[in-house]
Amino acid sequence: MASGVDLGSSSESQDPYERLGISADAGFEEVQRARDTSLKAAGDDPMARARIETAYDAVLMGRLRERQSGTISSAAVTASRLENQSASTSSASPVNNSALLTRIRNFSLPKPRLSSAGFLPSLSLVEGQGLLVRLIAGSIGLLLLLAAPTTVDLVLALSTIGLFISQVKRGRRPLGALGWSLALVALGLFLGAVISALLATQAGLPVNPILFEALPAYLVLVAGILLLL
């Protein structure tokens, strides 16, 4: 019988190790198995189950007192360590396993998007301070284009960059914003070439082909900056 074990913990003053059917140097796993086996054998008898639980508690309390007094054996130290590890594992494992199972059940592959709604643009006029900034910048670019036609390339390049930034800030993905920026500048240059060719056929009209090719492209870009979403 291990020292420090409360012999009077059971109603029949029976040694708790004897009640569980184990030796005093049994490991923690043996104590656990003996308790479970005894509870199964007791069935639904509340008194018998209470005596088994009391014996089990007496064994654990006795070993705790031995550990505190420094008289516990090396086998009991090992059993106590296993007891602590089992307690921490049993308290943590159900939560982790439950969380893992929940993640597995909720896991699903993303469904492919076949809709073109995310690629096609929508039109919405910019509001607030953004509209004011865009109008001022657009007016400056137009004045620069009319006053100095040699700056056509610079103005169109800055306008294309401005259209790209405007779309990104309004929520469009960079790749889509780049594609629509290039598409609009190409459309504007095509319109400018058509208008320039038509005006060139009119006799007596002073036509600056560079300006008339760049002006429609610039207006298309400005419209995109103000409206494209």
For the chain, the first-to-last Cα distance in angstroms comes to 84
The pLDDT assigned to 10 comes to: 38
Mean pLDDT of each 10-residue bin along the chain, 229 residues long: 38 73 84 89 88 88 77 55 55 49 55 50 83 89 84 87 88 87 88 79 62 83 86
pLDDT of residue 214: 83
Report the pLDDT value the prediction gives residue 112, as an integer from 0 to 100.
Answer: 46
Q: What is the largest CA-CA distance in the chain?
A: 127
Q: Which of 189, 187, 209 lies closest to 197, judged by CA?
A: 209
User: DSSP assignment of 83-149, as one string?
Assistant: HHHHHHHHHHHHHHHHHHHHHHHH--PPPP---STTTS--B----THHHHHHHHHHHHHHHHHHH-G
Q: What is the pLDDT of residue 17?
A: 85
| Strand partners for 228 | 123
- The Cα-based distances of 57 to 16, 19, 35, 50, 82 in angstroms read 9, 12, 10, 10, 16
Are 175 and 206 contacting, i.e. CB atoms less than 8 angstroms apart?
no
Q: Which amino acid is at 113?
A: R
**Residue 177: what pLDDT?**
86
Spatial separation of the C-alpha atoms in residues 197 and 190, rounded to whole Å: 11
Does residue 228 sit in helix, strand or coil? Answer: strand
Delineate the domains of the chain, giving CATH numbers in brackets: 7-106 (1.10.287), 129-227 (no CATH)
